[in-house]
Amino acid sequence: MFRACQPLLFLGLALLASCDGGLRVNRQGNPCTENLVTLRVEVVDARGTAVRDATVTATHVDTGHTITGTTGDRGVTTAVNEDIGEGTVRLTATSGSKVSAPAEVTWTCDECHCHPEPATVRLQLNP
């Protein structure tokens, strides 16, 4: 019985070896179509405690384009993203009657994405 299966075994191995020219899949993806680059904005009160539900407003100083986001349980929002455009962006946070001092971020773009400098901003609400 082993002798009868031997030709099938060799045939199977030959077919397996001939599969080298099969389809190739690029699993790296296109870096220009992947997720947007975001800015991490943290909002804290005068004691340094995270502020939930604070409104963060990012305004491009040249174009006036604005993105608004709301902080979550940890006082952080990542709503501000590279769609704001290249250049200087002014950030402020509000919660009730409390307002933060403005902070500025500079977005620099390459052929695919824009990146903020700094990558993280901490806004403190006035007492």
CB atoms within 10 A of CB 59: 18
Count of residues making up the chain: 127
- Check residue 2 and give left, alpha or beta (phi > 0: left; psi -120 to 50: alpha): alpha
pTM for this entry: 0.75
What pLDDT, on the 0 to 100 scale, is given for residue 127?
A: 84
Beta carbons of 107 and 119 less than 8 angstroms apart: no
What pLDDT, on the 0 to 100 scale, is given for residue 123?
A: 98
- Domains in the chain, CATH or no CATH each: 40-124 (2.60.40.1120)
At 33, the pLDDT band (50, 70, 90 cuts) reads: confident
8-27 residue pLDDT tens:
444 454 444 444 444 444 45
